[in-house]
Amino acid sequence: MPNNDPSIITPERFREKINKAQRDSVVNFGLYFAVTPDSLPHLQELAPHVIAFKLFMGESTGGINYPYDRLTEAFEAVAKTGKLLCVHAEDQEILDQGKEEYRSQFSPINHLLARPPRAEVEAIKYALELSYQYGVPLHICHVTTRDGIDFIREAKGNGFNVTAETCPHYLFMDFYDLIKLGSYAKMNPPLRCYDDQEELWKGLVDRTIDWIASDHAPHTREEKDKGLNNIWLAPGGVPGVETTSPLMLNAVNKKRLSLQQLVELMHDNPVARFGLDRYGYVEEGNVANMTIVNLEKPWKIRDEELSTKCGWSPYNGWTGRGAPVGVVINGKYYEL
């Protein structure tokens, strides 16, 4: 993600980040470059080096959203690169209205009320319209609403070049968790209701939603605790990269989807969309990357056992069955 500190909106910051990642990372990776008014002149230069471009239609952590009334210039610029555009889809005008209405109310539920489903739905509709107008391959990040899924399903049926994702926290948590966990369950878009959650599962099964993403946002306890008495002071987002696979494998064991469907959602579809075919399949000449899983392995998520530097998870104490037990990365085996 490009909304780091500092945000990845210049070629210099992009090169600094990619050099650090190449030095420190065990796994293969690709980086986004943020689309902002200031970064537009650099899109062509960086297109060969990015995995995709990321555009925040609505304000989120990092404050690098694109002015909503100028989104046409952003889509037109990305179209010239031929790259995939991944969007955070929330309508900024609706977010501004919600912030104005609820900013004097500090409980967690007001974060949900200030970012209603309509904000996501209207942004998805507008992104689809601009994608079609300018011929931009579009990916919609972290979908949370049943109406949003319906518009994506309709667009796919009409031949639009669009894919979509959702995240484990939207599949396994709802707004009651926001009430219970407070700022530790604050995220953008917010957790929704049970009916939206069930539509997400249907969207996975009927292939309207193309993959599962962790949307890993490892904010520290110190940052999250700022929202204990005022939800607006806490950043949005939760850690998720190391809990995604166990949660989804447990869902396979519970018959919410098949193992083959999970392989498509967490491997085949993103590999195809990002053009990573050399990394995607067990074939001669490809990079040897694999994940070995044990569907019977029991697990319990414990904050103190996590690898993430933030040291906490919204799933602390959750139990399940099915987990990765080893990985092969570039031909080298690592036991987990």
Asked if the model's pLDDT at residue 63 lies above 90, the reply is no
User: Which of the four pLDDT bands, split at 50, 70 and 90, describes residue 59?
Assistant: confident
Asked if the model's pLDDT at residue 124 lies above 90, the reply is yes
Whether 297 maps to a domain, the answer reads: no
State pTM to two decimals: 0.97
Residue 282's pLDDT is what? 87
Residue 180, domain CATH: 3.20.20.140
Whether 144 maps to a domain, the answer reads: yes
Whether 283 maps to a domain, the answer reads: yes
Mean pLDDT of 306-317: 97
Q: How far is CA 282 from CA 60, 135, 267, 336, in A?
A: 38, 33, 12, 21
Asked if the model's pLDDT at residue 111 lies above 90, the reply is yes
Residue 2's pLDDT is what? 92
Whether 309 maps to a domain, the answer reads: no
Whether 73 maps to a domain, the answer reads: no
Residue 62's pLDDT is what? 78
Backbone CA torsion sign across 266, 268, 273, 277: positive
Asked if the model's pLDDT at residue 5 lies above 90, the reply is no
- Average per-residue pLDDT in the chain? 96
Reduce the DSSP state of residue 137 to 3 states and report it: coil
Alpha helices by DSSP H, listed for the chain, are: 11-24, 43-46, 71-79, 92-102, 109-114, 117-134, 146-157, 168-172, 175-181, 194-205, 221-225, 244-253, 259-263, 269-273
Q: How do residues 16-38 score in pLDDT, each as one tens digit?
A: 999 999 999 999 999 999 999 99
User: Which of the four pLDDT bands, split at 50, 70 and 90, describes residue 77?
Assistant: very high
* Number of domains forming the structure of the chain: 1
**Residues sharing a CB contact under 8 Å with residue 203, sequence separation 6 or more, in sequence order:** 143, 149, 152, 153, 164, 166, 209
Cα–Cα distance measured from residue 107 to residue 83, given in angstroms and rounded to the nearest whole number? 41
**Would you state the structure tokens that stand for residue 249, as one six-digit string?**
């494998």
- Percent of the chain at pLDDT exceeding 70: 100
Asked if the model's pLDDT at residue 299 lies above 90, the reply is yes
Q: DSSP letter at 172?
A: H
User: Which of the four pLDDT bands, split at 50, 70 and 90, describes residue 57?
Assistant: very high
Whether 39 maps to a domain, the answer reads: no
User: Which of the four pLDDT bands, split at 50, 70 and 90, describes residue 243?
Assistant: very high
Q: How do residues 319-331 score in pLDDT, each as one tens digit?
A: 999 999 999 999 9
Residue 16's pLDDT is what? 96
Q: Which of 38, 215, 268, 277 is catalytic?
A: 215
Domain range holding 202? 89-288
User: Which of the four pLDDT bands, split at 50, 70 and 90, describes residue 61?
Assistant: confident
Asked if the model's pLDDT at residue 268 lies above 90, the reply is yes
Residue 200's pLDDT is what? 98
Mean pLDDT of 27-52: 96
Whether 50 maps to a domain, the answer reads: no
- Percent of the chain at pLDDT exceeding 90: 95
Q: How do residues 175-197 score in pLDDT, each as one tens digit?
A: 999 999 999 999 999 999 999 99
Asked if the model's pLDDT at residue 39 lies above 90, the reply is yes
Cα–Cα distance measured from residue 281 to residue 290, given in angstroms and rounded to the nearest whole number? 9
Mean pLDDT of 264-272: 96
215 is catalytic: yes
Whether 190 maps to a domain, the answer reads: yes
